[in-house]
Structure 1
Amino acid sequence: MTTATFSGGCQCGAVRYRAERIPSNAHICHCRMCQKAAGNYFMPLGSVNELQLTITRGAPTWFKSSEVVERGFCAKCGTPLFYKTIGSKTTEIVLGALDRPDLVKPAWQSDIYAHMPWFDELPNLRAPESGDATEEEHSRYQAIRVTNHQHPDHDTQAWPPEKTT
């Protein structure tokens, strides 16, 4: 699997990329800066040598989140895509933005001091998709599925697709 090509991109499809190998050092970062950048409780990251990473559509916008780190994201939809130590020859890819995030399993966690203390309770949370959803929840989930404007999880020649009349 180490010779596979991994593609990914933002939610709207304005920025797409390809990594020439599986990201290494796959991990989950719980630090407060990653929480804010992801708008989530943690950020999954994996390293790719900059020579093996190609932007195939658009260009990320970069935010210098500290004196040593910059973060790349899509300026159009806001999807976090990259984390880079300034001057490093590697770029961290946000693993959730891969077309196949299931193929890169994190091997460790960093900044555990900031992890959510209730993570071990997650398996016990109600799952409305499992059959006990209210009719209102089911209708809302279905409306989102059939009307979403999210780029598909594969490369496309153009996006968004041309509208036909």
Structure 2
Amino acid sequence: MQGHCLCGKIRYEVTPPALSCVTCHCDSCRRQCAAPMTTYFGVRDGQWRWLGDAPKTFNSSPGVERSFCPECGTPISFRSQAMSGVLHLYVATLDDPELLQPTLHVAHEEKLRWLKIDDGLPHCIGPDYTKAQSLP
């Protein structure tokens, strides 16, 4: 699987399979992506590589690093110390974003009230879905 930013300066390649594919509603993801929610997928270190230039990084909060293209500003990925050894890339940056489908909503407690989603996927509390609990 390959992906890129809007201008094409940042490109990456991933060797499947992805560990997860989730839709996040946390405030930090919303602000970075300027969207009411975003969908990302996780891959282990060693399963991905930059093709050409690497993105710029920004430490958005303690233990969280986000990356973006310095030319066009496209958000590319994030890392969390809570999920070490895993890079999370945004599905919308894939050359074919239809390759992956989310299986879970995370940080559901931060979802915007006006956003109505009826996709039947489970909802979890917190962006670290590895430790989250499902909501009824």
TM range (shorter): 0.7 to 0.9
Distance in structure 1 (CA, Å) of the matches to 2:17 and 2:117:
31
Q: TM-score with structure 1 length normalisation?
A: 0.67
Superposition pairs of residues 10-159 of structure 1, within 5 angstroms: 10-86=5-81, 88-120=84-116
Gaps of 5+ in 1: 1-5, 123-165
**Secondary structure of the structure 2 residue equivalent to 1:35:** helix
**Secondary structure of the structure 2 residue equivalent to 1:120:** coil
4+ residue runs of structure 1 moved beyond 3 angstroms?
A: none
Distance in structure 1 (CA, Å) of the matches to 2:43 and 2:8:
21
CA contact (8 A) 1:22 1:104 kept: no
**Secondary structure of the structure 1 residue equivalent to 2:116:** helix
Q: TM-score with structure 2 length normalisation?
A: 0.80
Gaps of 5+ in 2: 119-136
**Secondary structure of the structure 1 residue equivalent to 2:105:** strand
> 1 or 2, which has the higher helix percentage?
1
Greater displacement, 55-64 / 19-28: 19-28
Distance in structure 2 (CA, Å) of the matches to 1:94 and 1:22:
15
Distance in structure 1 (CA, Å) of the matches to 2:115 and 2:31:
18
Q: CA RMSD in A?
A: 1.7
Q: Percent same amino acid at aligned positions?
A: 28
Structure 2 partner of 1:162? none
Shift of 1:121: 7.8
Larger radius of gyration: 1
Shift of 1:119: 2.7
CA contact (8 A) 1:26 1:44 kept: yes
> 1 or 2, which has the higher strand percentage?
2
CA contact (8 A) 1:23 1:93 kept: no
